[in-house]
Chains A and B, each alone.
Chain A
Amino acid sequence: MPAALKGSAIKPKLEGPTVAVSVKSVNMVYDGVHAVRSASFDLETGKFLTILGPSGSGKTTLLRLIAGSQRPTSGEIFINGAAVSAVPPHKRSIGMVFQKLALFPHMTAAENVAFPLKMRRSDARAIPARVERYLDMVRLGGYGTRRVHELSGGQQQRVAIARALVFEPDLLLLDEPLAALDRKLREEMQLEFRRIQRELGVTTINVTHDQREALVVSDEIIVMDRGEIQQKARPSETYRSPSNAFVANFIGVTNFLDAPDGERRAIRAEKIRIAPTRHGLVGADTIVEGIVADAIFEGERVVYEVRVASLGDSLLRVFDHDPSAHSQLEPGSAVYLGWTAGDVLEFKP
């Protein structure tokens, strides 16, 4: 890992797992709106954390509090052991990629990337080489002399990332930087993020409401709802054992099953098997009958909506990932759904 830049106010980079960001019972109340509720978590150095949640759940607010551009109503945030509020903004060692990128339109790509180096008074002779290296890293070598408006959306994105990384900050904060891109480019950039982040080992916090992005790029995911942290776990854990019904519903496609004892039970759409006869469901320990309400062909899978009379006429969503195994079932046809008890998620009310 490259040495920390001179002028960074906070930079004790120790060996071994250390806590980079520590959020301690932080609350944020805008007149009347409780945007963040007693949030507490620690993030290890070098990890990639994604804050995931629906619109208005307080993700941006939490990120702004960590960046120190807003002060929490109560609680305290520490970056590498130092309270964020104790350091003035331009002395903090935080690289930020804003939702609207905020590239400087009157500068070229290279000038944009050089800006933090100039502002942090690093050795002027070393700047061009360093800028070139970071432009290369985001695969924009040779594009340095282009003005911002001469670059495509994805290229501007990468300039913004290079600019946030070039001064080797202790912490990289990303506020939905990929939201504006088309799906293919977005997926490419997600992997790119991951690669660069691993390469530099910079601690990263990424905000998104794209669950796929969260699952793909993160070491850890924080799921937020109405200002509260619902779960903080590794992606596979978040997916396999969601801590509550909200998380289960927000990540993946989940069917909630009627439970008489008040406990909520749920099953993922891909854990339900579907077949025209009972024989197709060998091994399933629960089998119900239903009528296909809708069948949506999505290419690599078919999504069925099946009305099940024995479950209070509820609609269950089922993914059939192998459409070629049997012909597509037409709406109106009678089908059998089956699953195993181990795949059922249970939540305390």
Chain B
Amino acid sequence: MRAAKSAYPLTWRIMDALEAFAAFVWPARFGRAIPWLMLAPALLLVGLLVLGLWQIGDVSLRTLDTSTFLMSEAYTLANYQRAFTESLFAVVAWRSLAGSLIVTVVTLTLAFPYAYVMVRTSSPTTRKLLLIALFLPFFIGQVVRAYGWLIILGNQGMVNEALGLVRIAPIRLLYNYWAVLFGLVQYMLPFAVLMLAPALTAIPEELEAAAGSLGADWARTFRHIVLPLARPGLVGAGLVVMTLSLTDFAMPAILGGGSQDFIANAIYDQFFRTSDQGLGSTLALLLVAAGSMLVGLVFTLFGAGTLAVGRARR
């Protein structure tokens, strides 16, 4: 039986044993449950999230009793009324929404050429350099990076010092809306590039050469071929950038210096400064609702298929 032994190597035997064990633990007739089993961890996480939301929803319907600092027993819509009527919250909401839209547009505009060059360059050195430049800021957390900007843009910062050399009076670069948006764009750029790069890689280079040979110059090739085919990537990257900046906390807090609060900062204030959990929860729920509506809007406008969610391309 020596021949048979050599024809059936040890590794195969081990595989057989493993398979037999798997069949014992999970008989084939359980097979239909496997997809559910694989979904289980995700379902568990989402379930926890829903539970949390339920809790927050419950708290959002109670008001804070300022004499005892306890939440009221009775349910009321007072928090929602405050959130919708007090001008402070309208200002914060508008600032966050407009900010996230501007950040998304600017980030995508900057990220697209970056990703394109990174994907299409014929020089491996250029590609490596671009990748490193992209990943370096990833290793520096958001808060540290924001502090870095304080050092660079502060009144005695590097920029103002350089301006001083050419006798220009110091400019107040920090603690305004544009500083926050600038910080957000800089923070979001790597995310956008990383989401755009695979989408651009998926566009065969011959398509661009073909468009050229068919009479399209560079600009028209971009408009008619590259841009439409990159749409799934653009929608995905846009969604990520928009939701991340809409809900951002650190950049408005640090670069805005308290004067440029976004929704997350307002929520933080309610929970940890005024201790009004009710109003904080209300604002949190409204933020979730606004974010969901934005995502829903993008999906209805561009179709979920653009995210390559469906099986076939539309």
Binding site for B on A (CB under 8 A): 7, 67, 69, 88-92, 94-96, 98, 100, 102, 104-106, 115-116, 119-120, 149, 163-164, 167
Q: From A100, A104, A106, A167, give the contact of B215 (CB < 8 A).
A: A167
CA–CA, A7 to B210, complex, Å?
A: 18
Q: Which positions 214-228 of chain B face chain A at CB distance < 8 Å?
A: 214-217, 220, 224-225, 228
B217 cross-chain contacts in A, Cβ below 8 A: 88, 90
Residue among A90, A94, A100 with max Cβ neighbours from chain B (10 Å):
A90
B313 cross-chain contacts in A, Cβ below 8 A: 105-106, 149
Closest to B205 in A: A102
Inter-chain contact B207/A120, CB cutoff 8 Å: no
Closest to B212 in A: A89
A92 cross-chain contacts in B, Cβ below 8 A: 213
CA–CA, A92 to B210, complex, Å?
A: 12
A91 cross-chain contacts in B, Cβ below 8 A: 215
Inter-chain contact B214/A167, CB cutoff 8 Å: yes
B220 cross-chain contacts in A, Cβ below 8 A: 119
Inter-chain contact B216/A119, CB cutoff 8 Å: yes
A120 cross-chain contacts in B, Cβ below 8 A: 215
B211 cross-chain contacts in A, Cβ below 8 A: 104, 115, 119
CA–CA, A12 to B227, complex, Å?
A: 36
Interface of B is mostly: helix
Q: List 19 A-B contacts (CB under 8 A).
A: A90-B213, A91-B215, A95-B213, A96-B213, A98-B209, A98-B210, A102-B207, A102-B209, A104-B211, A104-B225, A106-B228, A115-B216, A119-B214, A119-B215, A119-B224, A120-B215, A149-B313, A163-B214, A164-B214
CA–CA, A347 to B96, complex, Å?
A: 83
B73 cross-chain contacts in A, Cβ below 8 A: none
The 9 closest A-B pairs by CB, nearest first: A119-B215, A102-B210, A116-B214, A102-B206, A120-B215, A119-B216, A96-B213, A89-B212, A90-B217
Inter-chain contact A100/B212, CB cutoff 8 Å: no
Cross-chain pair count, CB within 8 angstroms: 57
CA–CA, A102 to B203, complex, Å?
A: 10
A101 CB, nearest partner CB in chain B, Å: 8
B204 within 8 A of A: yes
B229 within 8 A of A: yes
B228 cross-chain contacts in A, Cβ below 8 A: 106
Other contacts beyond A102-B204, A105-B313, A115-B216: 15, CB < 8 A: A7-B215, A67-B213, A69-B213, A89-B212, A90-B213, A92-B213, A98-B206, A102-B209, A104-B211, A106-B313, A116-B214, A119-B215, A149-B312, A163-B214, A167-B215
Q: From A7, A90, A149, A164, give the contact of B212 (CB < 8 A).
A: A90
Inter-chain contact A89/B213, CB cutoff 8 Å: yes
A106 cross-chain contacts in B, Cβ below 8 A: 228-229, 313
Inter-chain contact B215/A116, CB cutoff 8 Å: yes
CA–CA, A90 to B208, complex, Å?
A: 11
Closest to A147 in B: B313
Closest to B229 in A: A106
Q: Which positions 270-313 of chain B face chain A at CB distance < 8 Å?
A: 312-313
